A and B are shown apart, each in its own frame.
Chain A
């Protein structure tokens, strides 16, 4: 029996009844655990450190499959820009290791733990990949999917398999890492993941434009992302959110933020050029130096502005970037108490609103239906997430295809059953 040896008492959300809890320490044990579960038709909830159990629909499961002991970095070659780690390896351990060699995960994974009431810095790399997370650098540098080179996993069939590789340029067979990224543990349990890593910038600087309304902020972001100055973050915080920031200089007005990263000569040059370009906006520009800038983008990345109201439901809307401002305004007209901010140059709209019987799903889905894109209910109570579609509903042929894809990996539906359903 691989029963839990740790201090956590495993339960399902909303229940204090302990459930069977399997904790494989290697690939053989993982394979046996899933094969056994299949033989017994026992459904498993997969988790690393369990920080994102509130993301997706509540899983219907008979047992927990805890991957946190598939732990440790097995390969890191800085000059080859590649790292391999057990799926249960904490993200912060990997980030610390990379930082020692002046490198980072370019996709800037967010820490969603606190959003779901878990402590910060507990996320595992497997969870980051399985949820295809990406921070403010997404438009320039991609999401987890873009840096996920290869893996070893066990399918819902209880069979280990591998895909991808450790080199960045590979078209041998289907690109299964893309599919596993963002599959929320519904296809296979990741045992080991290989990621491409990236040099960390020497210098970071943020330009903050004070007092733009959302329309003009949208225009400013389109200008900045459409120029050659390699903006690596473009976000808009309305005035009601800047007052929640630890960066006090921003309080009292909206802030439109542009991050520049690179070698110092380049950052200085681009900051000046971008400032000149944005002068036509006729608002004051504040320069935020490295430390302050890092603090601010962490707030943007981790939704810190939206966490003060514990009962609010939170939506994440991915839309064409030039339409982000319009989407946000439309939602605000309909839900006057909604708070929002824009990231990804307008391509990502975060919305927090007091709850409603459908968690405002109809309003959110209408908004993205008109622009193209998708809306995800990122946080809501379990019973509400059982009721509404957490992920964007797909057109019938696509939904049927996705279901066939899922069944090809997990025909019995034993892995994170219902999470994406």
Chain B
């Protein structure tokens, strides 16, 4: 190990690289705003942009609005909460994906693997099929309960002694996932056509029904979870080198992994309870973000948050315009767009699995 004289090397391109980097963050922020604006402007009923602006301004700033009641309800009660729901749900699923991939140390980590998605599906479908006439609040409650129960089951299976076995999380997640899916399918076979339609729409996910009511709580959960994770990002980096190494650097690994899993489960369970089983966002967005900003977790979490918050409202615009006036479940769009992106990345990544 030759001790090279200190040549504090300021790489010649480092300033322009920093500027380039800042440019990408700004571009991502602008994209998010543009998608959100498009989400408010686009819909089955045409409302001209000036009217939309006046409606939003009247609500936010108290400027008197000249729009009629119908336009007002379309924009303020349907489109705006829907776009906001897309932003929150997309961000939540993406950061949950980052966390789960870090804990199980496997590129396949997503909310499905920790049982949240299949558990929520079973809970929701049970409520839809058995609890005839149950409202959406009841379905959401059942989905939330199902998600957490499945998560607890997987944790119980994956825990070994006092430690976590990441490989076992995936294995028990897949096993319990299939088991719960079997139960969900069984219920769907016994369902009436109307119930089946509702169940199908739920399992594929939709942010149509989130509404103003659920948004404050959802935002609070996601903001708290993200904030905590951003503070803990350096620990996530240590964990990326393996549990033993993280421990040698002072990370209480067992407690930290448990903390991460509980946050990921609570955030995704809250989101999935109101939006259904939206797939692929939690899996794909972290991988795309990693390609752009690298593996260090503070940037990775922020980038995933931004990308997820942009991707889901964009997918939602497609879901409601592609076959208009028929609306597609958003899960179909996220999978149809996300899977090819994932495959393209696999093809690009000649270094092997995107670990």
- Does A associate with B in a complex? no
Q: Which residues of B contact A (CB under 8 A)?
A: none
Q: Which residues of A contact B (CB under 8 A)?
A: none
